[in-house]
Structure 1
Amino acid sequence: MSKKTKPISFGKISFNFTKGSLDENKDESTSGFGTFGRTPIQEQKDIEEIADDLESQHVHQVMGIRNFGKKAKNFNVEEMIEQARKTAQEVNKKKTEETLTGKSSDKKLDEQNDDIIGPLPPKSTVNDKTGDESSDDDDDLIGPPIPSNLLAKDPDKVNTSDSKNDTKSDGDSYDELSGSDDEDLSLEKRIPNTHEVEMRHGTKAVVAVAVDPSGARLATGSVDYDVSFWDFAGMDASMRSFRTLQPCENHPIKALQYSATGDSILVVSGSAQAKVLDRDGFEVLECVKGDQYITDMARTKGHTATLNSGCWHPHIREEFMTCSQDGTLRLWLTENPKQHKHVIKPRQQGGLKTNPTSCAFSRDGNTVACGCFDGSIQMWDHRKNFVNTTVILRDAHQKQTEISCISFSYLGSNLVSRGNDDTLKIWDLRNFKKPLNVFGDLFSRYEQTDCSFSPDDSMVFTGESLQRDQDVGRLRFFNAKTFEPVTDIEVTKSHVIKGVWHAKLNQIFVGCGNGIVKCYYDNKKSLRGAKLCIVKTHRKKQSMEVVSSQQIITPHALPLFRQEKLRTSKKKMEKDRLDPMKSRRPDLPITSGQGGRVAASGSTLSSFVIRNLGLSKRVDDDQDPREAILKYAKDAEENPFWVAPAYKKTQPKPIFQDGEDGPSDAKKPKTDD
């Protein structure tokens, strides 16, 4: 038995309970095999709508209003998608016909706009509603209407753009800043160098520059041992750093890098111990120093020689890496700074050790790479043990020269290396035997001269040191695909060492050899960063001339510091009398001393005894004693006092022994009779 096909309609279901419809339902229910159980009188949706109508009538009787707000409509998503596809195909056909015939009118555009709105649910087919109610139904549609300028475009593009916008971040990335218009722009116009800001770090070369991942802070390090911290949100137009410190005492700073979360910063200096500071510059940890008398570097807990470089792991926030002149790379964890996690020992062609001069992680963190003093680039797999290299290239740069920097592209397929052999090389990691291109005549004086990719991997850039015939240091940009020079930025009258292109801010920070840090930005394409500081002016404090009447409390007015007040001034006068400063006592006279020598006695014991006996005559210590005795010989002969009067009666005439006979023997010798 054939049944009547009913058309599908959206919106509310109309209820026309007539006798004819009931008869049809009765015929349909009795015909055929039949049904089990009770036949439903009405569908569940009909019952719910009848209950809603009864409830609204009851509310109207009690409160005088129909209902509380309007009910959102339910849409069939699958039918809407099918209808959108059909309308999109029709619009594409019409567009192709218009391009072929060359006749387009405003009416056709209106028809296309109406067709694109087709995926939205149509009006209900209820005939008993008025026009006002149908306009209210249009207001019930959830979501904003599609802009008119997008309606004229293809709906496929509109849908794809919506899906792209959902996957994008909150609008801080470089891709959103550049937009789709940058695809048509030349590479030179993509470089944010319309404006520049100058920051003064010191007077010596700035060899380390690090920017917070969020772009809120900047850290700079120099060979003058200082590390300066810059806060863009707190700085004004004077561009002064809010903190400068010497974290590694008298060791030059060689590398700085913020962690992936931005809460700590790695400081690599000329010492053998790397340090980790927090955002405000306070020390968090210091790596242990190894035993320099042990030849096997794997058996020491830390580095034994000066550090060269260091970096954080891009995904593991607790792990960082350092390389040193002792010929090792070491992986550390912030949880255990007293012991390294792994030791990597790069080797030369013959198996001897070589010093790694630069190190880096790949963007995914699965590869550890280093550039060595023998001109080689060596890589290890981070997920395996670090015994054998996964990739090694012996003749990457000239031997016995430092590879000052190696950097991976954002996509991870290319690598760029900078050497002190005046070259910059681009490598393809899938074919790592020969460089894609070599950029020559790039003079470099520093071991920290770096290189990097632009955020969209379309360019590579590096700094250039001054030669004798040059006046201005340049930051040079090259096309990463065609290898042609894009542009040169003349930075300052000194060497250009470091260059950091921050993808989130779309700003370039450059460290120079004269202690200046420059920031380049585009006023339209750059976000925050240095742009926050330019609009701020330093406010001078106004001097207040109003005299306050409030009581001023001095520290000595507190009972803890209060001095005891003496009731009488007698004791105070006695204390002041004993104090030579307060009593203003004059200098005492010198009682003894002669010829610059001030002493109570002479230099000998006899002079000390004589002077203390109180004799009037002074004894000279420096005179000859024989002369002193002979001085009284004439006086003793004329007026004898001590010896001569005793022998005056018995021996009036003194008899002296002649010198010819010689001295008499004290004992006579025995004689034989």
Structure 2
Amino acid sequence: MQRGKISFGKIQLNIKQSPDGPNADENEVVKKSGSSEGGGFKKMDKHQMIRQIEDVAEDLESQHLKEVMGISGFGRKAAQVFDINEQIAKAKITRPGVDKKREVPEQEEEQDVIGPLPPAAVEDTERASKDEATNKEEDSDDDSSCDEDSDDEQSLSKRIPYTHEVQMQHGSRAVLALAGDPSGARLVSGSIDYDMCFWDFVGMDSSMRSFRQLQPCENHPIRALQYSVTGEMILVISGNAQAKVLDRDGFEKLECCKGDQYISDMSRTKGHVAQLTSGCWHPFNREQFLTAALDGTLRIWQGLKAKEQVQVIKTRAMGGLRTNASSCNFNRDATLIAAGCVDGSIQTWDTRKMFVNTTHCVRGAHQKGSEITSIVFSYMGQQLATRSNDETMKLWDLRQFKQPLHTWSNLYSRYDTTDCCFSPDDRVLVTGESLPKDQAEANLYFYSTKTFQEVQRIPVSNSHVVKTLWHPKLNQLFVSCGNGTIKCLYDEKRSIRGATLCVVKTHRKRQQMEMVGVSQIITPHALPLFRQEKSRSSRKKMEKARMDPVKSKRPDLPITSGQGGRVASSGGTLSSYVIRNLGLSKRVDDDQDPREAILKYAKDAAENPYWIAPAYKETQPKAIFSEKLPTDTDEPSTKKPKTEADN
């Protein structure tokens, strides 16, 4: 259908005046229109229509002639002319996805139609415009669907930041807890060896060393850590029954009180009575946090000065029996509290109501007896992901909470703190696995939340993968391993700050400080009497005193020659001394036996005693010795019988 040009502005028609007057035709038209029913314009005569078309054509020719000659309207503003065909052609050329066959040919553009169109032509143009609109919508829908499919398949793997890797060494034992500051400036990690390390990305260099290490809960392993919404405080969940709150630098701000373990009703106690399993902060209240323990309760704590919990939530198994919660979490707007229990059930409570009955309760969500190690809400708040020790991970929709959207299996888990997390855009779900026996490295799995397909699999370490943290502000992945290492995966183009600040800083060794000793000043006119002694070390003074026999009080050394009236080293006994100096006039060899030398003079000593007999010659009495009388027989005499007189 041909389309003409539409002109805007005043069109001057040079119509010849009739003999009746200049306004005769207009009056005639007005009269005809005024006599119509209900007002309006009636159909004009054929001669009048032809006359007006000829006048318009002449006017257009005159305007074209004026433009060629350079005369523009004689002071009046020229009419603006818009070509519809040119506008449509430009739109088709600039808009992608439009077929070239639908472009308007140049011949049709050059043809101009002036005047009102008949109703049949109007209907044809409307139909053509509708057909073009429908075709364009179909093409755009097809293109968008194709683009979305290709984006889902290709762009998801490109969105994962794993082109570069940095390793941080926490210790030698498994790192069970990992938490990042909301601003992305710091990272804290807790291990099974009771240690808690603080990492500052701004202050670290390429050596990646923590600036502080402490044991906040003494001899209890750190099970969970989390920063508050403002990043000022850290919640520490350990193997103890008492949770602790530390400030940003690691100083203790609060320690929850312990309950009475002899009270059967857990709602009557002031705190937990068994080991803690999980805990988290309120999404927007910086002083409220939630804890879960093996005493079958979840407790909400408010404020840093309160010594008792605000609310107590009891987890119930089938039949109303008590069951323990192994993980807990708030949703993004803090309207729901979700808990994963040891019996494999998922239970939720509405925070705007009483915590007596559950809002959702899915029995048999996971295998009974296997702990639900992690329960995480998506950023949009419509989906829920759970990770369990039954080697599965499930994705749930809160609007249809009876059955899971999808179940991923063959995900071996050894630790009861193995978790999963969503990507910042909720399009990818991430989890790690423990190292099986037949594998050399543990992997990190990325799954699509829409198609449920595996997007990427990244080998991380030759040990177990315990915790995964995808920081939304840094766009970096932090993975804790069973050998005490923490790995940071990032992309140079998509990741900002964080570990990228540390890699560019080179590690510099400390320069040794050179200490200049005080030099001794010697005066030129000083006498030797007033001269100062050089300072010596205590060791040299002790060695010098050791060499001096007077100061060291050295004993006399043994004499080997035996001259000078001193005993030689070979004659150290008393007998050799007596024989050599007093008893003998001749020298006795050392090899001679002293006893034989004495026995030589035994006869002389008996005849002429010198040592003992002369000393007691005057005072010693005469010795009387008993003599034995001779008897006939040597038999003993009989015993005299005892008589009464003797008694």
- Aligned match of 2:408: 439
Confirm or deny that 1:391 pairs with 2:386.
Answer: no
- Aligned match of 1:474: 443
Q: 1:356 aligns with which of 325, 344, 347?
A: 325
- Aligned match of 1:325: 294
Aligned mates of 1:432, 1:662 — CA distance in 2: 125
- Cα deviation 1:140-186 (Å, max 9, x = unaligned): xxxxxxxxxxxxxxxxxxxxxxxxxxxxxxxxxxxxxxxxx988952
Aligned mates of 2:506, 2:239 — CA distance in 1: 38
Confirm or deny that 1:449 pairs with 2:423.
Answer: no
Q: How far has the Cα of 1:399 moved from its partner?
A: 0.5
Q: Residue 358 of structure 2: SS of its match in structure 1?
A: coil
Residues 91, 479 of structure 1: CA spacing in aligned structure 2 closer, same or farther, 3 A cutoff? farther
Aligned mates of 1:330, 1:90 — CA distance in 2: 72
Q: Which runs of 5+ in 1 are unaligned?
A: 1-6, 8-86, 105-180, 552-582, 587-634, 639-655, 665-673
Q: 1:369 aligns with which of 328, 331, 338?
A: 338
Q: How far has the Cα of 1:661 moved from its partner?
A: 5.9
Q: Residue 371 of structure 1: SS of its match in structure 2?
A: strand
Q: Residue 322 of structure 1: SS of its match in structure 2?
A: strand
Letter of the 2:301 partner, please give it: W
Percent identity over paired residues: 58
Residues 544, 258 of structure 1: CA spacing in aligned structure 2 closer, same or farther, 3 A cutoff? closer
Cα contact 2:253–2:304 (8 A) shared by 1: no
Confirm or deny that 1:534 pairs with 2:529.
Answer: no
Cα contact 1:288–1:337 (8 A) shared by 2: no
Superposition TM-score, scaled by structure 2 size:
0.59
Aligned mates of 2:202, 2:514 — CA distance in 1: 32
Q: 2:230 aligns with which of 232, 252, 261?
A: 261
Matches within 5 A, 1:3-402: 93=88, 95-98=90-93, 185-402=154-371
- Aligned match of 2:458: 489
Aligned mates of 2:645, 2:430 — CA distance in 1: 111
Q: Residue 374 of structure 2: SS of its match in structure 1?
A: strand
Q: Residue 188 of structure 1: SS of its match in structure 2?
A: helix
- Aligned match of 1:458: 427
Q: How far has the Cα of 1:335 moved from its partner?
A: 2.8
Cα contact 1:285–1:334 (8 A) shared by 2: no
- Cα deviation 1:201-230 (Å, max 9, x = unaligned): 000101100000000000000100000000
Residues 97, 547 of structure 1: CA spacing in aligned structure 2 closer, same or farther, 3 A cutoff? same
Q: How far has the Cα of 1:454 moved from its partner?
A: 0.8
Residues 308, 548 of structure 1: CA spacing in aligned structure 2 closer, same or farther, 3 A cutoff? same
- Aligned match of 1:136: none
Cα contact 1:182–1:190 (8 A) shared by 2: no
Aligned mates of 1:289, 1:103 — CA distance in 2: 83
Aligned mates of 2:349, 2:172 — CA distance in 1: 39
- Aligned match of 1:503: 472
- Aligned match of 1:426: 395
Aligned mates of 1:102, 1:662 — CA distance in 2: 171
Residues 238, 390 of structure 1: CA spacing in aligned structure 2 closer, same or farther, 3 A cutoff? same
Confirm or deny that 1:412 pairs with 2:407.
Answer: no
Letter of the 1:490 partner, please give it: P
Q: Residue 186 of structure 1: SS of its match in structure 2?
A: helix
Residues 663, 278 of structure 1: CA spacing in aligned structure 2 closer, same or farther, 3 A cutoff? farther
- Cα deviation 1:93-148 (Å, max 9, x = unaligned): 563254667699xxxxxxxxxxxxxxxxxxxxxxxxxxxxxxxxxxxxxxxxxxxx
Q: How far has the Cα of 1:539 moved from its partner?
A: 2.1
Residues 97, 390 of structure 1: CA spacing in aligned structure 2 closer, same or farther, 3 A cutoff? closer
Residues 451, 549 of structure 1: CA spacing in aligned structure 2 closer, same or farther, 3 A cutoff? same
Cα contact 2:418–2:466 (8 A) shared by 1: yes
Cα contact 2:332–2:377 (8 A) shared by 1: yes
Q: How far has the Cα of 1:538 moved from its partner?
A: 1.8
Aligned mates of 2:471, 2:258 — CA distance in 1: 34
Aligned mates of 2:644, 2:247 — CA distance in 1: 104
Aligned mates of 2:552, 2:293 — CA distance in 1: 66
Aligned mates of 1:344, 1:476 — CA distance in 2: 34
Q: How far has the Cα of 1:338 moved from its partner?
A: 1.2
- Aligned match of 2:595: none
Aligned mates of 1:196, 1:663 — CA distance in 2: 119
Q: How far has the Cα of 1:422 moved from its partner?
A: 0.4
Cα contact 2:241–2:272 (8 A) shared by 1: yes
Cα contact 2:378–2:384 (8 A) shared by 1: yes
Residues 542, 431 of structure 1: CA spacing in aligned structure 2 closer, same or farther, 3 A cutoff? same
Q: How far has the Cα of 1:548 moved from its partner?
A: 7.3
Q: Residue 251 of structure 1: SS of its match in structure 2?
A: coil
Aligned mates of 1:91, 1:330 — CA distance in 2: 71
Letter of the 2:210 partner, please give it: S
Aligned mates of 1:663, 1:480 — CA distance in 2: 127
Letter of the 1:515 partner, please give it: G
Cα contact 2:254–2:304 (8 A) shared by 1: no
Q: How far has the Cα of 1:467 moved from its partner?
A: 1.1
Aligned mates of 2:640, 2:223 — CA distance in 1: 97
Residues 296, 103 of structure 1: CA spacing in aligned structure 2 closer, same or farther, 3 A cutoff? same
Residues 184, 401 of structure 1: CA spacing in aligned structure 2 closer, same or farther, 3 A cutoff? closer
- Cα deviation 1:483-521 (Å, max 9, x = unaligned): 111111110000001000000000000000000000000
Larger Rg: 2
Aligned mates of 1:364, 1:196 — CA distance in 2: 34
Confirm or deny that 1:517 pairs with 2:486.
Answer: yes
Q: Residue 378 of structure 1: SS of its match in structure 2?
A: strand
Aligned mates of 1:413, 1:90 — CA distance in 2: 49
Residues 657, 522 of structure 1: CA spacing in aligned structure 2 closer, same or farther, 3 A cutoff? farther
- Aligned match of 1:65: none
Q: How far has the Cα of 1:336 moved from its partner?
A: 3.5
Q: Residue 532 of structure 1: SS of its match in structure 2?
A: helix
Aligned mates of 1:394, 1:663 — CA distance in 2: 112
Cα contact 2:89–2:103 (8 A) shared by 1: no
Cα contact 1:286–1:337 (8 A) shared by 2: no
Aligned mates of 1:524, 1:204 — CA distance in 2: 33
Q: How far has the Cα of 1:585 moved from its partner?
A: 10
Residues 97, 374 of structure 1: CA spacing in aligned structure 2 closer, same or farther, 3 A cutoff? closer
Aligned mates of 2:234, 2:519 — CA distance in 1: 47
Q: How far has the Cα of 1:468 moved from its partner?
A: 1.0
Residues 547, 362 of structure 1: CA spacing in aligned structure 2 closer, same or farther, 3 A cutoff? same
- Aligned match of 1:629: none
Letter of the 1:473 partner, please give it: A
Q: How far has the Cα of 1:303 moved from its partner?
A: 0.4
